[in-house]
């Protein structure tokens, strides 16, 4: 079967970390240097040659729908409306399943990420490795890490340095802790492992599947990367 990649931009979050910017609008419509996070994400995905994109919504859903309807993009954009129940990343992906009927693989992209990562190279790495999922990762400071095997880049576990909690469903003697970049590619078959109508993050799903499935890390050390996090972190930017 010929590979056909669609994308999903996770834009349904409440944006509590960016309050008060999100008091009257969704996080996806916060502007950084004049451009909304959603526009930036759509354009980044489209530049990689992906022209069918699903955007999930919840918080101020109608504002996102109106923004997409009144702007022109180099992509066909569909809405997965989670207004009735916020389902988190894995739950949201499962909820949007009918919109991926013709896809073989799905690029997942958090709307609050700004990065120079080459998405085409990430996707090709994912296809070549025949992984169920491929996670973009960097060696940067964070309190929570994914743990990979240093020789194979297979996902093996997760660790929270603040609490000391560590999960290692796939033990390895070559642990490599790396920070997740909020950008990943999955085979559509991963939908078979996600329960219907349940709020679920991709992190526990990946950890559960890592014991028996090929889930790889993709290092993108040379790329710029920023998570648009707390409001106080954005003092050096023109934000609206």
Q: For residue 230, what pLDDT is reported?
A: 67
> Where exactly are the structural domains of the chain?
5-234
Kindly report which listed range (18-27, 102-111, 163-172, 215-224) carries the lowest average pLDDT score: 18-27
Q: For residue 238, what pLDDT is reported?
A: 65
Q: For residue 21, what pLDDT is reported?
A: 85
Q: What is the pLDDT of residues 65-108, one digit of tens each?
A: 999 999 999 999 999 999 999 999 999 999 999 999 999 999 99
Say if residue 37's pLDDT is above 60.
yes
Q: What is the pLDDT of residues 121-134, one digit of tens each?
A: 999 999 999 999 99
Q: For residue 45, what pLDDT is reported?
A: 98
Counting Cα atoms < 13 Å in the Cβ hemisphere of 212 gives 3
**What average pLDDT does the structure give for the chain?**
95
- Taking the model in full, what pTM does it have? 0.96
Taken in order 47, 54, 215, 200, the sign of the CA dihedral is: positive
Q: For residue 235, what pLDDT is reported?
A: 62
Say if residue 232's pLDDT is above 80.
no
Burial 164-200 (b: 16+ CB within 10 A, else e): eeebebbebeebbbbbbbbbbbbbbebeeebeeeeeb
Q: For residue 135, what pLDDT is reported?
A: 98
Q: For residue 17, what pLDDT is reported?
A: 87
Q: Which residues contact 220 (CB under 8 A, 6 or more apart)?
A: 115, 117, 118, 122, 136, 137, 138, 181
Domain covering 5-234 in this structure, CATH number: 3.90.550.10
Percentage of residues of the chain with pLDDT beyond 90: 88
Mean pLDDT over residues 124-150, rounded? 97
Q: How far apart are CA 93 and CA 108, in angstroms?
A: 9
- Bridge partners (DSSP) of residue 148 are 155, 176
Mean pLDDT over residues 165-178, rounded? 97
């Amino acid at each position: 079967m010929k590979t056909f990649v669609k994308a999903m931009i996770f834009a349904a979050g409440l944006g509590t970390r960016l309050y008060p910017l999100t008091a009257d609008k969704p996080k996806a419509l916060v502007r950084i240097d004049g451009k909304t996070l959603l526009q930036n994400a759509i354009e980044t995905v489209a530049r990689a040659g992906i022209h069918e994109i699903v955007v999930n919504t919840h918080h101020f859903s109608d504002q996102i729908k109106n923004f997409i309807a009144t702007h022109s993009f180099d992509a066909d954009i569909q809405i997965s409306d989670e207004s009735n129940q916020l389902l988190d990343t894995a739950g949201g992906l499962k909820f949007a399943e009918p919109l991926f009927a013709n896809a073989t693989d799905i690029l997942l992209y958090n709307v609050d990420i700004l990065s120079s990562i080459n998405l085409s190279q990430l996707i090709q790495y994912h296809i070549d490795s025949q992984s169920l999922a491929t996670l973009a990762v960097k060696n940067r400071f964070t309190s929570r890490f994914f743990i990979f095997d240093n020789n194979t880049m297979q996902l093996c576990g997760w660790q929270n340095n603040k609490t000391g909690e560590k999960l290692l469903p796939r033990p390895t003697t070559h642990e490599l802790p790396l920070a997740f970049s909020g950008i990943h590619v999955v085979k559509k078959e991963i939908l078979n492992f996600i329960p219907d109508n349940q709020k679920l993050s991709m992190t526990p799903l990946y950890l559960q599947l890592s014991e028996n499935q090929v889930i790889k890390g993709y290092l993108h050390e040379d790329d710029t990367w920023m998570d648009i996090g707390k409001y106080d972190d954005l003092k050096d930017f023109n934000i609206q």
